[in-house]
Amino acid sequence: MTIDAFIDALPKVELHVHLIGSASAATVLELSRRHPGSGVPTTEEELHRFYTFRDFPHFAKVYGAVNALVREPQDVATLVLGLARDLALQGARYVELQVTPYAHHVVGMPMREVTEALDLAARRSAAEYGVETAYIFDIPGEYGEEAARITVEHALQEPPAALVGFGIGGIEQERRKYRDAYRSAFSAARAAGLHSVPHGGEMTGPETIWEVIEGYGAERIGHGITCLSDPRLVAHLRETQLPLDVCPTSNLCTGQVARLEDHPLPRMLEEGLYVTLNSDDPPMFATTLAGEYRLAAKVFGLGAQELAQLARNGVQASYLAEGRKQALVAEIDALVAAG
């Protein structure tokens, strides 16, 4: 079996992907044509240029412009179903999709209608594409106390049935201004039984990773790629096996690494850290979940055994029911044995 065939056949889970960032080019163009004057291009060529990011703040600005196109609950459901369709074609069985309720709040969508759209989309994703969908509600970190309040209120008062986690994303440098509000929001979410899955160490140093561990009770961390500059943190992550959801192409496109060859993923694996492989905002970064596995093989030299272990890591780090985890790991093991 070729490595490409192995990757295609490998059962996968996607643990780090954002609702708005998962919108296909065709969907974004449809919405931008429906809402002229939004600032989002209406042709494929212009959209490609629009998705060429100078740095993370520029990416965040573009992301916000695309988000503003999502104005109706049915738009939310369309995005979820589109992602499920795309993942099914890549051999993915399960996704934990990051949703930012505050973004829907500011365009006037009621909590209940957003939740109904998410519930409907999760049911249809399973029935039509065989992809089980869970949700993580995340705070956009640059928007402060109101964003934290709205996010936690939605999570606790009107949650979708498949809500499993609570996170925070956005521009990490802005978070320190609202530290108490964010810690309080995570405390409330965790008390309600939600898992803590914040971003940390994507565009700032190890101090942000320590903050999400000590202040937010992180059970899994988005990115975490700057951990290697702090030996004490590396030792802690290795000892605790706290999962890090790594997204190499995303880090390249937003300027966190200069070249894919410079990405810290290989060293993270050498250090014995618990890594999962993910796509983050795939159409915006011209990637896919399967594409990230191909990149790991071709750029980082990982073979079938190493790729299978990354897939197992994703399954075990997920919030799937234990029986489903065991079944997926057994499928991965059977594929490795057959190959």
The tally of CA atoms less than 13 A away on the side-chain side of residue 96 is 30
DSSP label of 1: -
List Cα–Cα distances, 183 to 43, 56, 167, 186, 310, in angstroms: 42, 24, 11, 5, 31
pLDDT tens for the chain, residues 1 to 339 = 899 999 999 999 999 999 988 888 888 888 888 888 888 999 988 998 998 888 888 888 888 888 888 888 988 998 999 999 999 999 999 999 999 999 999 989 999 999 999 999 999 999 999 999 999 999 999 999 999 999 999 999 999 999 999 999 999 999 999 999 999 999 999 999 999 999 999 999 999 999 999 999 999 999 999 999 999 999 999 999 999 999 999 999 999 999 999 999 999 999 999 999 999 999 889 999 999 999 999 999 999 999 999 999 999 999 999 999 999 999 999 999 997
Q: Which of 202, 214, 270, 331 is catalytic?
A: 202
| pLDDT recorded at residue 247 | 98
Q: Residue 300: in which H helix or E strand, if any?
A: none
Phi first, then psi, for residue 14 (nearest 5°) are -115, 115
Residues 6+ positions from 5 with CB-CB distance below 8 Å: none
Tokens 């949700």 sit at which residue? 135
Question: What span, in angstroms and rounded, lies between the C-alpha atoms of 13 and 33?
Answer: 33
| pLDDT recorded at residue 59 | 85
| pLDDT recorded at residue 94 | 98
Range of the domain at 142: 3-338
Asked if 132 and 93 count as a contact pair (C-beta separation under 8 A), the reply is: yes
Question: What span, in angstroms and rounded, lies between the C-alpha atoms of 238 and 162?
Answer: 30
| pLDDT recorded at residue 68 | 85
* Residue 289 Rama label (left phi>0; alpha psi -120 to 50; beta): alpha
Q: How many residues appear in the chain?
A: 339
Instruction: Please report the sign of the dihedral spanned by the C-alpha atoms of residue 282, residue 57, residue 265, residue 183.
Output: negative
3-state SS assignment for residue 107: coil
146 part of the active site: no
* Residue 218 Rama label (left phi>0; alpha psi -120 to 50; beta): beta
The CATH number assigned to the domain holding 64 equals: 3.20.20.140
| pLDDT recorded at residue 69 | 86
336, two tokens = 């490795």
Residues 6+ positions from 59 with CB-CB distance below 8 Å: 53, 253, 254, 284
Asked if 313 and 276 count as a contact pair (C-beta separation under 8 A), the reply is: yes
Tokens 């080019």 sit at which residue? 25
Number of domains in the chain: 1
* Dihedral, 205, 59, 255, 244 alpha carbons, nearest 10: 50
List Cα–Cα distances, 133 to 17, 238, 303, in angstroms: 12, 29, 29
